Amino acid sequence: MCALARPTAVTIRPMRRADVRAAFRVERDAYGSQSPRTSFRREILNGLAQYLVADVGEDAPAPPQVRDWWARAVQFLPDRLPFGPSGAPIAGFAGAWFTHDQLHLVTLAVAPQYQGRGIGQALLLAVCDLAVAADLDSVALEVRSTNARAVSLYARHGFRSNGRLRNYYADNGEDALVMLLDGLDTPEGRAALDARRAEHAERYGVGFVTRSD
């Protein structure tokens, strides 16, 4: 396991083919046999899907001031360094599908050794930004009914319960809770999203940068 004693710089960017093996490892370590193996190679070629990864630079310089970090967050930077298996460790990933009226978060995982450091929340915020950029009003997801930690995470970021799918998970017949974050196309919804970004930055004090590659 990797100890993250120093400030950590996290770059969220689109998943590439070179990341697939590392993403499989994160998925296996985070979920074990609870989740079927994701076809990352197929998903990154799916024009209606977007998969993101969180690269971690450990020994990174101190992050920017909290008041500056989100202003710098969405940057379109040239690809200067190798990532994935030969570069910065992949700490987590998220995948979303676009529909005509909303974004569907289909998966989010953080490697156990990086959990509790705000990386899952940063990925969730980045997914919400995908919805905003696509002029979509809402983000929907399913989560295991017994996964109290994930349910709490989503609730803290404005998701509300929107139903239950009985016997949804094939491995054990567990129910899924459907959760929804809407209002992203309103000034109030976007202001709430900005507030959650600021709260996240203040709590974790980590420099998160989103790249479009």
* Two structure tokens written together for 165: 């799918």
φ, ψ of residue 198 to 5 degrees: the values are -65, -40
Catalytic residue among 43, 51, 114, 154: 154
Catalytic residue among 27, 51, 114, 142: 142
Count the helices and strands in the chain (H runs, E runs): 6, 9
Q: What is the CA radius of gyration of the chain?
A: 16
Say whether 142 is catalytic: yes
Interior/surface letters 41-56, b for 16+ CB within 10 angstroms, e for the rest:
eebbeeeebbbbbbbb
Which DSSP helix (H) or strand (E) runs through 73? Answer: none
Say whether 31 is catalytic: no
Rounded CA separation 189/4 (Å): 34
- Sign, CA torsion 31/35/36/39: negative
Q: Annotated active-site positions, please? A: 142, 154
